[in-house]
Chain A
Amino acid sequence: MIKKMKENHHIYGWGFTLPSIIFFATFFLYPIIQSLILVFTSSQGSVSNFVGLANFTRVLKDPIFWNSLKNSFLYLIVQVPIMLFMAAILAVLLNSKNLKFKNFFRLSIFLPSVTSLVSYSILFKMMFSENGIINDFLVNGIGFLDLPISWLQDPFWAKIVIIIALLWRWTGYNMLFYLSALQNINEEIYEAARIDGANVIQQFRYITLPLLKPIILFTAIQSTISTIQLFDEPLNITNGGPANSTMTVSMYIYKLGFEYLPNFGYAATVSYIVMLIIVVLSIIQFRVGEDKK
Chain B
Amino acid sequence: MTNNKHEIFIKKIMNILKYIFLSITSLISIFPFYWMIVGATNTSNDVISGKMTFGNELLTNMSNAINNTNLMNAATNSFKIAFFSVVFSVIVSSMAAYGFQMYKSKGKKVIYNLFLLSMMIPFSVLLIPQYRMIVNIGLLNNLWAVILPSIISMFLIFFFYQSLSDFPIDTIESARLDGASELLIFFRIVIPQLKSSFATAIIYSFMTSWNNFMWPLVVLQTDESQTLPVLLSSISDITNYSIDYGVIMVVIITSTIPLFIIFTTMQKYFVAGMTGSAKG
* Chains A and B belong together in one complex: yes
Partner-B contacts on A (CB < 8 A):
9-10, 12-17, 19-21, 23-24, 26-28, 30-32, 34-35, 38, 90, 93-94, 96, 99-100, 104-105, 108-120, 122-127, 129, 131-133, 136-137, 168, 172, 176-177, 179-181, 184, 214-215, 217-218, 225, 228-229, 231-232, 235-236, 249-250, 253-254, 257-258, 264, 267-268, 270-272, 274-275, 278-279, 282
- Which B238-264 residues sit within 8 Å CB-CB of chain A? 245, 248, 252, 255-256, 259-260, 263-264
**Separation of A270 and B122 alpha carbons in the complex (Å):** 11
**Separation of A230 and B119 alpha carbons in the complex (Å):** 16
Asked if B22 CB lies within 8 Å of chain A CBs, one says yes
Q: What's the count of A-B pairs with C-beta under 8 Å?
A: 248
27 pairs across A/B with beta carbons < 8 Å? Answer: A10-B105, A12-B99, A12-B103, A14-B108, A16-B96, A19-B95, A19-B96, A27-B149, A28-B152, A31-B129, A96-B18, A108-B26, A113-B263, A114-B263, A114-B264, A118-B228, A120-B32, A122-B252, A133-B35, A168-B32, A177-B275, A179-B271, A215-B279, A217-B278, A232-B213, A235-B233, A253-B127
- Decide: B103 and A119 in contact? CB cutoff 8 A: no
- Decide: A272 and B126 in contact? CB cutoff 8 A: no
- Which of B35, B111, B125, B279 has a CB less than 8 Å from the CB of A123? B35
**Separation of A282 and B255 alpha carbons in the complex (Å):** 33
- Which of B21, B120, B128, B256 has a CB less than 8 Å from the CB of A268? B128
Q: From known contacts A113-B263, A268-B128, A271-B127, infer whether A181 and B36 are also in contact, taking CB-CB under 8 Å.
A: no
Residues in chain B near residue A27, CB distance under 8 A:
126, 130, 148-149, 151-152
- Decide: A116 and B26 in contact? CB cutoff 8 A: no
- Which of A17, A32, A117, A168 has a CB less than 8 Å from the CB of B125? A32
Asked if B274 CB lies within 8 Å of chain A CBs, one says yes
Shortest Cβ distance from B119 into chain A, in angstroms? 8
- Which of A24, A30, A122 has a CB less than 8 Å from the CB of B115? A24
Partner-A contacts on B (CB < 8 A):
18-19, 21-22, 25-26, 28-30, 32-33, 35-36, 47-50, 92-93, 95-96, 98-100, 102-105, 108, 111, 114-115, 118, 120-133, 148-149, 151-152, 157, 182, 186, 210-211, 213-214, 218, 228-229, 232-233, 236, 245, 248, 252, 255-256, 259-260, 263-264, 267, 271-272, 274-275, 278-279
- Decide: A10 and B271 in contact? CB cutoff 8 A: no
Shortest Cβ distance from B199 into chain A, in angstroms? 15
Q: From known contacts A16-B96, A264-B128, infer whether A93 and B21 are also in contact, taking CB-CB under 8 Å.
A: yes
- Decide: A180 and B271 in contact? CB cutoff 8 A: yes
- Decide: B124 and A93 in contact? CB cutoff 8 A: no
- Decide: B125 and A35 in contact? CB cutoff 8 A: yes
Instruction: Known pairs A100-B19, A231-B213; list 19 more (Cβ under 8 Å).
Output: A12-B99, A17-B100, A20-B93, A27-B126, A28-B118, A99-B18, A105-B25, A109-B25, A114-B264, A115-B32, A118-B228, A126-B248, A133-B35, A177-B274, A214-B278, A236-B236, A249-B124, A257-B131, A272-B125
